[in-house]
Amino acid sequence: MSKHKSGGRAAESPSPPEMVCTLVVDAVIDEIEVEICCQRTDGVDRVFSTSRGMDWLRTERPSVSTLTYSIDTLLFSMIAMCLRYVGYPVDVRAGLLSKKHVEAIINSVCFELEEIKKENEVWREAEIVIKAAHLGLALEASNFRRGTWVACCPGTNHTLDLQPKRNLFYCGYCRVGGGIDKLDEFVAQRRRSKAAAFIGGRILH
Ligand SMILES: [Zn+2]
C-alpha cells in the first residue's frame, strides 16, 4: 500500500504501538520485566514502558527521520533512566530490536556513565565535597549527571546533590540547599533531631 501524503493532516492515523524489547531488570529485591514500546504520533516519536507502575519511564522526540532511528536515541535515555531508578538489565528479550542490538545500547550507556563518573572524580578536592566527607556523609561522584557528586541526605534515604563547581548542595525531597555553612548547619540539625527522637523513644519505653 502506498502511503498517503497529504502534508497537513498526517496526525489522523498514528502508527500503532510496537514492542521494542523487554528488559529483565535486577531490581535488588526481585527481577522485574520492563516492557518497552514505541509509537509515532502527531510528529512525535515516543518510547515508553507498558509495564505496571512504570508509566513514568518514557521519553520522546520530534519525528525527524525514521522511527527506528529515533528508537536508538530514545532507548539510550530509557536504559540510563532504568539503570538509575530501577536496576541493571540482566537479560533482554527481542522485539523490534534484536537482543544483540539492545545489549550494545546497554553497553554504550554503561560506558557513558563510567565516563561521566570519571569526569566528576576531578572535583574530589572541591570544598563542598571535602566538607561532606568530614561530616561523615556517604558520598561519591555521580555517574548520571556531569558536575555533580551525590551523598545520602542525613537520616533519610534521599539523594543529596553536591555541585562542586559552585560549592552548593541541594536535597530535592527536603527542599533544602545552600553553601558550605548551610550544609554544616543542616547536618547538625538533622543529627540533633535524630538524637532527640532516640532519647524520646527511650523515655517512652
Ligand atoms: Zn533530604
Ligand 1 center from residue 137 Cα (angstroms): 12
Ligand 1 center from residue 35 Cα (angstroms): 31
Ligand 1 center from residue 156 Cα (angstroms): 6
Structure confidence at residue 201 as a pLDDT band (50, 70, 90): low
pLDDT confidence of residue 62? 95
Structure confidence at residue 27 as a pLDDT band (50, 70, 90): confident
pLDDT at 67 over 80: yes
Per-residue b or e along 83-111, where b marks 16 or more CB atoms closer than 10 Å to that residue's CB:
beebbebeebeebbbeeebbeebbeebbe
pLDDT at 205 over 80: no
Ligand 1 center from residue 152 Cα (angstroms): 8
Strand partners, 58: 48
Ligand 1 center from residue 172 Cα (angstroms): 7
Ligand 1 center from residue 77 Cα (angstroms): 26
pLDDT confidence of residue 199? 72
pLDDT at 7 over 50: no
Ligand 1 center from residue 29 Cα (angstroms): 23
Structure confidence at residue 155 as a pLDDT band (50, 70, 90): confident
Ligand 1 center from residue 112 Cα (angstroms): 27
Ligand 1 center from residue 157 Cα (angstroms): 7
> Per residue in 74-116, pLDDT tens?
999 999 999 989 999 999 999 999 999 999 999 999 999 999 9
Residue with cell 561519591: 140
Global pTM reads: 0.75
> Per residue in 111-145, pLDDT tens?
999 999 999 999 999 999 999 999 999 999 999 99
Ligand 1 center from residue 174 Cα (angstroms): 4
Mean pLDDT calculated for residue range 20-26: 96
Mean pLDDT calculated for residue range 57-86: 93
Per-residue b or e along 62-71, where b marks 16 or more CB atoms closer than 10 Å to that residue's CB:
ebeeebeebb
Helices 67-85 and 99-121 meet at what angle, rounded to 10?
A: 60
36 vs 54: CA distance, rounded Å:
10
Ligand 1 center from residue 177 Cα (angstroms): 10
